[in-house]
Structure 1
Amino acid sequence: MEIRPRRTDDLPGCVRMLAEVHEYDGYPNRWPDEPAKWLAPPNSVAAWVAEHDGRLVGHVVLTGRDEQLWVSRLFVDPSARGSKVGEALLRQARSRGVLMLDVVESSERAIALYERTGWTMVGRRDADWLMSDGTRPTERIYTSN
């Protein structure tokens, strides 16, 4: 597996992978109108992909907000789960310094990944967005220390 900076020409493959993730486990909860733009938000600082045998198997973006760097848009192709792709992408992101992330409290697999890789929960908050069913989820806030 190789972790490398995401290129513009990776976006179509990332959108296909995101569609598989969305179908498999509902992330993101609401499918974006423009998924390629969703994967490259305007406040992006850096983005990486994981590639295995020439196939994209993971994606992560760092965004800058509130004078912090935040992990965003982290997902792993369902067929590559269990092969440490998420851990490798988080390790790459952490090379940029202390990071923050938020995760919906019902995302048990993601929470397990963060806690297994040493992230510390520092709080909870109501999300500033609504789920597709109209409910406002609770998010856990983590720091990489």
Structure 2
Amino acid sequence: MVFHLRAATGQDLPFARTLTREAMNGYYRQYGLWWSNDGFDTAWAGRENWLICRDDSVLGFISLSRDSRALYIRELHMLEACRGQGAGSWVLEQMALKAQALGLLRLTVFKTNPARQLYQRTGFNIVGEEDCFWRMERVCRSS
């Protein structure tokens, strides 16, 4: 299967917001956190956002930020029907390539989220914790 990324536009915001809310709702309830559409929209405006696609189908999206040391995956969500098809692993490899100039790829994941196993399989290590989250990173150096 051939996947590709397409730069997200403002027209993609409702899709990304709904996908994120649906994917994260159980974790938010579990940990007593509150979802904010306005908070999501504000974060979206300040990030690099991509749709994960196969042919003309949108499978999910990824949202990124960066500083001088690392590329940060802020959101990575797949439509439920599209999980387990390799797109998540593929996009993590693409982000590792993108992070080579900075050296680190970082993310935060809820402690009870099974996606942590995918992250560990693709080279991420747990480097810290905050309340209900694991902080994870992958070293990405160009050879």
Write the mapping of 1:24-39 to structure 2, written as runs, cut at 5 A. 25-26=26-27, 30-34=34-38, 37=41
Whether 1:144 aligns to 2:138 is yes
Flag the structure with higher helix content: 2
1:121 maps to which of 126, 130, 134: 126
Instruction: Pick closer, same or farther for the CA change 1:55–1:13 going to 2, 3 Å.
Output: farther
Could you tell me which residue of structure 2 aligns to residue 129 of structure 1? none
Whether 1:11 aligns to 2:40 is no
Number of equivalences:
130
CA–CA separation in structure 1 for the residues paired with 2:81 and 2:56: 14
Percent same amino acid among aligned pairs? Answer: 23
Please tell me the residue identity of whatever aligns with 2:96. Answer: R
Write the mapping of 1:71-110 to structure 2, written as runs, cut at 5 A. 71-97=73-99, 98-107=104-113, 109-110=114-115
Instruction: Pick closer, same or farther for the CA change 1:100–1:117 going to 2, 3 Å.
Output: same
Superposed CA RMSD in Å reads: 2.6
Q: Is the 8 A contact 1:119 1:143 kept in 2?
A: yes
- Calculate the TM-score normalised by the size of structure 2: 0.73
Q: Residues 18-68 of structure 1, C-alpha deviation per residue, up to 9 Å, x if partnerless? A: 344346x557963323376156152x2x22211234332111111235853
For structure 2, the residue ranges without an aligned partner over 5 or more in a row are none
Deviation for aligned residue 1:6? 1.9
Name the SS for the 2:120 alignment partner.
helix
